[in-house]
Structure 1
């Protein structure tokens, strides 16, 4: 312990004090040596030298001890001074205790506040999770409501429009014909509004998917042209389409969405054109080995759009003017839906228009090129163009699976008008039993029915032995929710028709499928 203490003290003293110490040690050694010499070599000279050495050594040792004493005293004084700085004054102990109690109280208060903040944060998280669940439930309820209201409106509207169009050709009285045309026009406007609302809801929720598959572009455009031709004719407008010679015959993309875009644009042109004509022009903008970009132009000679309104009309609920909204009606959703559908597919929409002189709506879409020819089973709609539609229904037996009596009667009348033989099944269970008992050439299948719906009935039919399991099935439904067509195709249906449907659309789908089915049956037999 003294050695460690001495080492510590030696480390703390200054260099000059260390030199004094070394000198003292040397003198001590010399004095010791002189004493030893005198002891062994006694003489007066040695005695005198020894006395001088010893006296000098004693003096130096005294001086060194004095310096060490001062050095140690200074250090102790510094230590006392430092300790003195921390020495509490009288009454400071109570003050310090009070400070400590105040600090502890502050810490407790801060801790309590932190606990309260954590509790409020957990409450906020709980409320947020509850609100999120509520929002999701509301979104689900909204979608369910739209689906249900769509089904409930479309089902009776199919009967209204269907029978009105049947009567249109048989009524001879001019006043009655005009009244009937107004009924049809009003019903069509109602269906347009309903379709726009459903499309807007799906786009708003992001519930839109695109499915690419090869299709014949000319047949898709021709089918759209035939669907709209009668409406242009009834308004006294010219309507035609033109495809550039460089446009590929077969491309891969979403044919359904392309038809929806063309339908919205041509319907818009029909609405705002009172005289003149409407046309569709299709050309190639860019082409590579893997992709081709096509430009579609829907042009009209209608009222035109003012320059300052040309960008706004693509916004939701916007029309060119309030007067146009009152005069032509509509939701103001059609063009915004077009823009959204095109942009989601990587395309663009733009407009050229002059007020009072018409408009040109352009949209460009990329499509994948198709190198291989489509399989024989994918027979385009044009395959039936050389067949007399009046003769298609002869010897063709149609199974109509429909639970609504009005729609049953409508489809029977439409089919029998073209010579088809018909049988009705009120639900899917009866349809499966009837198909098992005899052969049918095509099945028109409603989806929402009691006892057994159209989905389950289709699955059971596809499990039957050939040739019954290969019977073409067309879904007839008032459902227009996202993925309905894809769902129908995935379980084995051949096509899909949405209520209310036109007679031309029904004849086209039934005619194409029955011709394809007859051809495939003949090939398999041979």
Structure 2
């Protein structure tokens, strides 16, 4: 409605015949309008002069009841009127239309003599005013000598906008009082529009509902339109600024029109509920876009005609569809329809005021702006009601969703089972990879052990090969442990190893790696008087090697590790002194590692072990203390007795030879079984006290074999079953214990590890047999 009224106000001129009264200003110094009584003439060819206008007979030209609205005029417009007396007091003409590109004022006597001239007053920048204003003042100074006849005031006006000519005359005091009230109303109205615009844009950012964005942009472009139309942009910017061009004025109202239609479509849910109406409004939006193109190419007449047509179609359509949506039960449409009604009333009051049918006052003169503000408030209320409705719908939907969730619990359960199945498939894959990598390492490790016993091999090469095999095994253990920590929290097994062989092997691994990087390394310990180390040894080995291997890459001159067990607290204490020669030594724990993944692995592993660590940085000296609980040392009180007979259940021929060779060197007689079925047969014929059981075998694997033996104790006795497998994840160890195995050894098996486990379980078995006897 506001676009239709705006276009009509620019195009319509209402004329009424009247006599030509002479204007005068009362003693109360009230401002009076020059209409009626004034005349205007459109000089399209700009051929007339001011004197020609002053000497014209006014009878051919009609006086009108109110200020004319001429629309776009290509030429210049002459306005003239007769003034009773200009000798008593100085007066001012106030033109309430700021978009003037040229203005000249002339005062003539009745005989045609030029008494006073104010030329090109509009060229003075509006920024010289004390405040932004929608008015332009033209001074008419008091004449020095009295005249016996009235004077004629002639105005020559040009504008690049659609021309409106509300002109009043009076003293400065009267204008000041009226203008302050009008400016106050304008500022309040524009401020409310700005606040509502920002409010809706903030709501869009918080809720992501598109109609808030459309409405906020509609208000933003309306703000721009009113600022241009009321002359504020000419005060804020130079007259040549692009915002003061007629195209900016027209484009701003077109953009407000487009976003108003988009808002109506989204707010009334036309795409979902009324697709035909939605297509119709989309077509109107394309028409407005075409109208905007006409404005940009300065085709003014066609643009005004098209805009008037689109405005009429839109206003009729929006009222019809609002009523239809409201009848369908969509309650927020009430305020939407009411908002358009208030806007229509405001526009009608404004039109009746400028045509003279209503008295001019503060409210009627700005009825269109006030109607726009009330419309914005009502539409914001409509949006608030819409949010309340959406919240109520959300509560209803949540209840329905709860019923759906209850009905689909069985489907979710099946989905969880499927996910668990996929997890098991992944674990099987990791087991297979581990088995394929560690099985050949078993034979390599045995060959290296034989060479280290003096079989005429290069000692340095043998040590390097041995170190490489342990390093590969360590990398695999790290990979598997990383996988475990990503899937669940592993439960680390407590191991018992001989102190001296264990520390010797650790020293060899760490010193070889440091030597490659040019770092001096030493490992010190106060455990020389102890025989057995108990605790989660394998993860601590991974932890220590990870920290030392990473630190050795940082230009370390020396690394000293002190290894101690606090027997009274049951803690393992590892103190590491590192001296770096780097010009930029590390200053944080993260810088001690080559990657953030390595640092995260160490921190997570220490946490899983229940320990903690502290690192101090003192220039080139780095001190690290690692404390791990659940460790102890003890004396080996038992005489080391090895079993006389051991059954080795292994399907791989190479591993059979390796295990046979290792047991022969330990002085233990062994027999071989190629699968679980063969093992059951031999155990039934001649029972063994200890069985070394491979887990993955054809025909019958180690798990099923163990279950079969535990299920028939009378036939198979109760042997000690030790798993020997390349699958060394904590989950594998848990599975071995679950089926009834007593212990677990990971491939590749080292000689000292094999001897320790055989001695420990042989002694345990002997005690059990003694007590049972």
Q: Which of the five TM-score ranges fits, normalised by the shorter chain?
A: 0.5 to 0.7
TM-score normalised by length of structure 2: 0.41
Distance change (3 Å), C-alpha of 1:250 and 1:167: closer
Determine if the alignment matches structure 1 residue 154 to structure 2 residue 434: no
What does residue range 234-313 of structure 1 map to in structure 2 within 5 Å? 239-242=523-526, 255-256=535-536, 259-265=538-544, 268-269=547-548, 272=552, 278-283=561-566, 292=569, 294=571, 296-299=573-576, 308-313=586-591
**Match among 602, 607, 613 for residue 349 of structure 1:** 613
Alignment partners' CA distance in 1, 2:508 and 2:627:
27
Determine if the alignment matches structure 1 residue 225 to structure 2 residue 489: no
TM-score normalised by length of structure 1: 0.58
Determine if the alignment matches structure 1 residue 204 to structure 2 residue 486: yes
Check conservation: 1:474, 1:494, Cα contact below 8 A: yes
The structure that is helix-richer by fraction is 1
Q: 3-state DSSP class of the match of 1:171? A: coil
**Match among 350, 364, 370 for residue 627 of structure 2:** 364
Question: What's the offset of the Cα at 1:140?
Answer: 5.8
**Match among 75, 100, 106 for residue 323 of structure 2:** 100
Q: 3-state DSSP class of the match of 1:382? A: coil
Unaligned runs of 5+ in 2: 1-316, 334-385
Unaligned runs of 5+ in 1: 1-93, 320-331, 370-378
Per-residue Cα deviation, 1:42-101 (whole angstroms, up to 9, x for no partner) = xxxxxxxxxxxxxxxxxxxxxxxxxxxxxxxxxxxxxxxxxxxxxxxxxxxx99876532
Determine if the alignment matches structure 1 residue 435 to structure 2 residue 714: no
Check conservation: 2:647, 2:692, Cα contact below 8 A: yes
Alignment partners' CA distance in 2, 1:418 and 1:343:
39
Question: What's the offset of the Cα at 1:153?
Answer: 0.6
Question: Could you tell me which residue of structure 2 aligns to residue 407 of structure 1?
Answer: 655
Distance change (3 Å), C-alpha of 1:133 and 1:455: closer
Determine if the alignment matches structure 1 residue 460 to structure 2 residue 735: no
Distance change (3 Å), C-alpha of 1:397 and 1:355: farther
Per-residue Cα deviation, 1:22-41 (whole angstroms, up to 9, x for no partner) = xxxxxxxxxxxxxxxxxxxx
**Match among 450, 453, 456 for residue 172 of structure 1:** 456
Check conservation: 1:427, 1:451, Cα contact below 8 A: yes
Distance change (3 Å), C-alpha of 1:165 and 1:223: closer
Determine if the alignment matches structure 1 residue 481 to structure 2 residue 729: yes
Distance change (3 Å), C-alpha of 1:421 and 1:302: farther
Check conservation: 1:227, 1:505, Cα contact below 8 A: no
Count of residues in correspondence between the two structures = 376
Question: What's the offset of the Cα at 1:345?
Answer: 4.7
Q: 3-state DSSP class of the match of 2:442? A: helix
Alignment partners' CA distance in 1, 2:685 and 2:634:
31
Check conservation: 1:244, 1:282, Cα contact below 8 A: no
Question: What's the offset of the Cα at 1:458?
Answer: 1.3
Alignment partners' CA distance in 1, 2:706 and 2:635:
24
Question: Could you tell me which residue of structure 1 aligns to residue 756 of structure 2?
Answer: 508
Q: 3-state DSSP class of the match of 2:745? A: strand
Check conservation: 1:224, 1:263, Cα contact below 8 A: no
Alignment partners' CA distance in 1, 2:725 and 2:772:
32
Question: What's the offset of the Cα at 1:421?
Answer: 0.5
Question: Could you tell me which residue of structure 2 aligns to residue 14 of structure 1?
Answer: none
Per-residue Cα deviation, 1:327-386 (whole angstroms, up to 9, x for no partner) = xxxxx73x64342122235432122466766x54323345599xxxxxxxxx988245x5
What does residue range 46-57 of structure 1 map to in structure 2 within 5 Å? none
Check conservation: 1:446, 1:454, Cα contact below 8 A: yes
Question: What's the offset of the Cα at 1:450?
Answer: 0.9
RMSD over aligned CA atoms reads 4.8
Check conservation: 1:298, 1:360, Cα contact below 8 A: yes
Higher relative contact order (CA 8 A, sep 6+): 1
Alignment partners' CA distance in 2, 1:421 and 1:470:
20
Question: What's the offset of the Cα at 1:475?
Answer: 0.5
What does residue range 367-406 of structure 1 map to in structure 2 within 5 Å? 382-384=636-638, 386-387=639-640, 392-393=641-642, 396-406=644-654
Alignment partners' CA distance in 2, 1:463 and 1:380:
36
